[in-house]
């Protein structure tokens, strides 16, 4: 049943405690993107820090390995399809842990505002050789960093309806489309991934007055 695998217990030490989502990361700021929409959206969300969930590289690595641990009993998988761009990093970690060598990508571009979901376009299809694996993608593992509203997941599901879909994080609207995940956050939580963040200088509290 999609989504149930995310509730399975993990062995001690494989996944550390998730930090409080209200903890402000004063030393990080969102990086500008090619289209600029991510930076604009992130600026709005940072005004409401209790809804922000910053994830460090170390934490993401732990969470992705925890996902691989959950998936180890679901295989074997003959191929991994990662949804770009967010699925690239977790797919690299999962394929290493599960020793899967056949890796493909599917590119779905979404154009939307922070509170409204717009149109999506398939920029790159799944390779025909991967589509031929199993029946409807059985034996194929689809990886993404996050399932949000489920719009992207639904498009990829239509391509490989019998593939195993896994994400590191999930939100309630998209959770029914996912077979395995690690952590669920509320729908209005904004997850800041480490590749979207950068360090910034913070002036002294005194304002530099000595």
Residue 18 phi/psi, 5-degree rounding, is -75, 135
147 has binding-site annotation: yes
The answer on whether 152 is annotated among ligand-binding residues is yes
Say if residue 151 carries a ligand binding annotation.
Answer: yes
Q: Is 80 annotated as a binding residue?
A: no
34 known ligand binder: no
On whether 196 is known to bind a ligand per the annotation, the reply is: no
**Which residues, 6 or more positions from 73, have their beta carbon under 8 angstroms from its beta carbon?**
none
- DSSP label at 31? P
* C-alpha R_g of the chain: 18
Confirm whether residue 17 is marked as ligand binding: no
User: Per the annotation, does 149 bind a ligand?
Assistant: yes
- 145 known ligand binder: yes
Query: How many whole angstroms separate alpha carbon 88 and alpha carbon 120?
Result: 19
Provide the annotated active-site residues.
Answer: 144-145, 148
State the Cα–Cα distance between residues 14 and 63, nearest whole angstrom. 8
Q: What is the SS3 assignment for 67? A: helix
CA angle (126, 130, 136) in 5-degree steps: 90
Nearest to 178 by CA among 158, 198, 164: 164
Q: Annotated binding residues for GMP, as ranges? A: 148-152, 190-191
Q: Annotated binding residues for 5-phospho-alpha-D-ribose 1-diphosphate, as ranges? A: 85-86, 144-152
Q: Annotated binding residues for Mg(2+), as ranges? A: 145
Q: Annotated binding residues, as ranges? A: 85-86, 144-152, 190-191
């Amino acid at each position: 049943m999609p989504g149930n695998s995310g509730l399975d217990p993990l062995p001690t030490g494989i996944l550390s405690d998730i930090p409080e989502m209200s903890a402000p990361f004063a030393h990080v700021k969102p990086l500008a993107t090619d289209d600029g929409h991510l930076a604009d959206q992130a600026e709005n969300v940072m005004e409401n820090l209790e809804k922000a969930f910053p994830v460090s590289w170390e934490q993401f690595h732990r969470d992705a390995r925890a996902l691989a641990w959950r998936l180890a009993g679901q295989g074997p998988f003959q191929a991994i399809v990662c949804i770009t761009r967010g699925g690239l990093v977790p797919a690299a970690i999962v394929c290493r842990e599960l020793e899967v060598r056949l890796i493909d990508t599917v590119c779905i571009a979404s154009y939307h505002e922070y509170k409204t979901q717009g149109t999506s376009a398939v920029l790159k299809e799944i390779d025909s050789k991967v589509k031929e694996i199993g029946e409807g993608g059985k034996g194929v593992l689809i990886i993404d960093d996050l399932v949000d509203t489920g719009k992207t997941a639904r498009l990829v599901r239509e391509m490989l309806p019998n593939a195993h879909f896994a994400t590191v994080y999930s939100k309630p609207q998209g959770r029914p489309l996912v077979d395995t995940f690690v952590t669920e956050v509320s729908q209005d939580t904004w997850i800041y991934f480490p590749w979207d963040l950068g360090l910034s200088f913070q002036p002294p509290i005194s304002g530099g007055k000595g």
